[in-house]
Structure 1
Amino acid sequence: MSVCNSTSESSSSTRGWLVHGLVLAAAVAAAAGAHVALALRRSGRLRSRVVGIIPARFASTRFEGKPLVDILGKPMIQRTWERTKLASTLDHVVVATDDEKIAECCRGFGADVIMTSESCRNGTERCNEALQKLAKKYDIVVNIQGDEPLIEPEIIDGVVKALQGAPDAVFSTAVTSLKPEDALDPNRVKCVVNNHGYAIYFSRGLIPFNKSGKVNPQFPYLLHLGIQSYDSKFLKIYPELPPTPLQLEEDLEQLKVLENGYKMKVIKVDHDAHGVDTPEDVEKIESLMRERNIS
């Protein structure tokens, strides 16, 4: 049976129900989050067993078939998998997909594959379904975006260690400095954090925004990188949480976590984001790889 919910998150009736149910949902989620954190403290152990999952789907609205696009002679999903395998904190790496073409490709270069439902609404739900189908149990699940073929293994290790070091958090992710030319690009998600390194908000718009309505060249804006890790207990709860107004409006799954009262640890890294969001980004990635002599 599929663990993903196929109901559309964009219907007006759903939005209305969410607005009225938000307070109750947040209270329930906060209680669940406290239970997860308490269980971890009582167990007296580090979240030590870690699996990396690369969700990949063929039917992307912005770039259909993106995981299979050729990047200097290799499919992009293979390049992401090879980089991910270099991370020292991962005990296992799998690709989670709903498409047989992607699965066949991944098996061809040696990756373990978990088939998941087409009804998964985002990468987090796909990771949850894959986690439940794995034979072994894991404490942390790392969601590695398949469209970052130059992801640094050190960043993967960084988000894992951040979650291991923050027992009150159920989620961790990474940010880097936002380039001025990307400030108004809705495909570049921005993030703001508090003084303790926990996320406050994510947006496709520029945050923070100032009265002038212009980009402030002196402000250290933060760009969200796609990689994120979850406590495995929380990941099982996540699909049962109702979609939230901010999540629906921004189309960002991280906001459902925050709106439901959970804590998210954020680390800042020195990394140029090289995600492939559109077909035009492929040429940019290949040019960069040639400059770095990456074959």
Structure 2
Amino acid sequence: MSGEPSCTRLDRVIFMSTKSAILHAAAVATALAAGYYYYRRSATVFRSRVVGIIPARFASSRFEGKPLVEILGKPMIQRTWERAKLATTLDRVVVATDDERIAECCRGFGADVIMTAESCRNGAERCSEALQKLEKKYDIVVNIQGDEPLIEPEIIDGIVKALQTTPDAVFSTCVTSLKPEDAFDPNRVKCVVDNRGYAIYFSRGLIPFNKSGKVNPKFPYNLHLGIQSYDSEFLKIYPDLTPTPLQLEEDLEQLKVLENGYKMKVIKVDHDAHGVDTPEDVAKIENFMRERNLS
């Protein structure tokens, strides 16, 4: 038996428990203060300075070298950059890449290029790194997918304005009507929203899914368009958020935002989406452009 009086041992137990409780309370208070500061910042500061970033990587598992594929004589990344430059809400447009071949191509047609690490796991992380390398400060970052070479400038402006007018959201994106033939295509991401226009869920499968297991021709399914914008302060912390189960299962970065409790504003637009996910999509988009005399 220890010679230490039982009351002394009890005092030490009480002291250690109290110390742990104080440290825990301090940590909670710090987190709450940080969250309150972020909420107040978002709620009171108009997010006016906007940069568009086009993340581009060469080593794509589905379509290697995709940004450099030619569409009617121009690299796809150039077509995306030219469309983005027409948006009225963007103060600047840059390409963020980890590949010198893409960088050289982009500099050749006049684009600003930011080199980023190969370790970036998705477009949002590449945008985050590029943002912190820019010499100027921005309030909103628009992640413009390089595989939507016919993206409409009005859509870029729409998601920027959606984020500017929704202070409790840290993220905004858009959807359009899903074509029945794309219902079960895992490359066409689907989205459901609530009555206030906030995202509920994204999936590569058809959502909502009914008991018949078939497409309901009367239901207005939503197709997610890859373009999205972020509050710049949120984007800085995004890479440090732990990957979430739904994000990993669906391989969709938007789900990490939702699973961590952040709000995402969604607008619906009328857009004939022509994303390039596979080499076969190149011929489809070229035929579409020829039919409509789009150069």
TM over 0.5: yes
Query: Which residue is 1:232 aligned to?
Result: 232
Higher Cα Rg, which structure? 2
Matches of 2:34 and 2:221, distance apart in 1:
32
Query: Which residue is 2:249 aligned to?
Result: 249
Query: Which residue is 2:292 aligned to?
Result: 292
Query: Which residue is 2:112 aligned to?
Result: 112
Matches of 2:206 and 2:33, distance apart in 1:
32
Identify if the C-alpha distance between structure 1 residues 143 and 30 changes in structure 2 by more than 3 Å, giving closer, same or farther.
farther
The reply on whether 1:91 has 2:87 as its aligned counterpart is no
The reply on whether 1:36 has 2:57 as its aligned counterpart is no
RMSD: 1.4
Query: Which residue is 1:21 aligned to?
Result: none
> For 1:106-137, what per-residue CA distance to the aligned partner results, in whole angstroms no more than 9, with x for missing partners?
00000000000000000000000000000000
* Aligned counterparts, 1:140-155, within 5 A: 140-155=140-155
> For 1:219-245, what per-residue CA distance to the aligned partner results, in whole angstroms no more than 9, with x for missing partners?
000000000000000001101100000
Query: Which residue is 2:183 aligned to?
Result: 183
Identify if the C-alpha distance between structure 1 residues 285 and 105 changes in structure 2 by more than 3 Å, giving closer, same or farther.
same
Counterpart amino acid of residue 65 in structure 1? G
TM-score by length of 2: 0.88
Identify if the C-alpha distance between structure 1 residues 140 and 124 changes in structure 2 by more than 3 Å, giving closer, same or farther.
same
What is the DSSP-based 3-state SS (H/G/I as helix, E as strand, rest coil) of the residue aligned with 1:226? strand
Query: Which residue is 2:10 aligned to?
Result: none
The reply on whether 1:221 has 2:228 as its aligned counterpart is no
How many corresponding residue pairs?
A: 266
Task: Give 1:35 deviation, angstroms.
Answer: 3.8
Query: Which residue is 1:71 aligned to?
Result: 71
1:47·1:164 contact (CA, 8 Å) conserved in 2?
Answer: yes
Counterpart amino acid of residue 175 in structure 1? V
Identify if the C-alpha distance between structure 1 residues 29 and 246 changes in structure 2 by more than 3 Å, giving closer, same or farther.
farther
Identify if the C-alpha distance between structure 1 residues 99 and 200 changes in structure 2 by more than 3 Å, giving closer, same or farther.
same
Counterpart amino acid of residue 94 in structure 2? V
Structure 1 stretches of 5 or more lacking a match? 1-27
Task: Give 1:294 deviation, angstroms.
Answer: 1.4
1:138·1:232 contact (CA, 8 Å) conserved in 2?
Answer: yes
1:54·1:81 contact (CA, 8 Å) conserved in 2?
Answer: yes
Query: Which residue is 1:209 aligned to?
Result: 209
Matches of 2:33 and 2:123, distance apart in 1:
25
Task: Give 1:87 deviation, angstroms.
Answer: 0.2
> For 1:144-177, what per-residue CA distance to the aligned partner results, in whole angstroms no more than 9, with x for missing partners?
0000000000000000000000000000000000
> For 1:183-233, what per-residue CA distance to the aligned partner results, in whole angstroms no more than 9, with x for missing partners?
000000000000000000000000001111111111000000000000000
Counterpart amino acid of residue 36 in structure 1? Y
Counterpart amino acid of residue 278 in structure 2? T
Counterpart amino acid of residue 278 in structure 1? T
> For 1:82-104, what per-residue CA distance to the aligned partner results, in whole angstroms no more than 9, with x for missing partners?
00000000000000000000000
Query: Which residue is 1:128 aligned to?
Result: 128
Query: Which residue is 1:19 aligned to?
Result: none
Structure 2 stretches of 5 or more lacking a match? 1-29
What is the DSSP-based 3-state SS (H/G/I as helix, E as strand, rest coil) of the residue aligned with 1:51? strand
Matches of 2:76 and 2:220, distance apart in 1:
31
Query: Which residue is 2:19 aligned to?
Result: none
Query: Which residue is 2:14 aligned to?
Result: none
What is the DSSP-based 3-state SS (H/G/I as helix, E as strand, rest coil) of the residue aligned with 1:142? strand
1:37·1:169 contact (CA, 8 Å) conserved in 2?
Answer: no
Matches of 1:259 and 1:29, distance apart in 2:
18
What is the DSSP-based 3-state SS (H/G/I as helix, E as strand, rest coil) of the residue aligned with 1:184? coil
Matches of 2:53 and 2:40, distance apart in 1:
26
Counterpart amino acid of residue 40 in structure 1? S
Matches of 2:192 and 2:40, distance apart in 1:
27
1:47·1:139 contact (CA, 8 Å) conserved in 2?
Answer: yes
TM-score by length of 1: 0.88
1:30·1:260 contact (CA, 8 Å) conserved in 2?
Answer: no
User: How high is the sequence identity, in percent, across the aligned residues?
Assistant: 85
Task: Give 1:37 deviation, angstroms.
Answer: 2.3
Query: Which residue is 1:25 aligned to?
Result: none
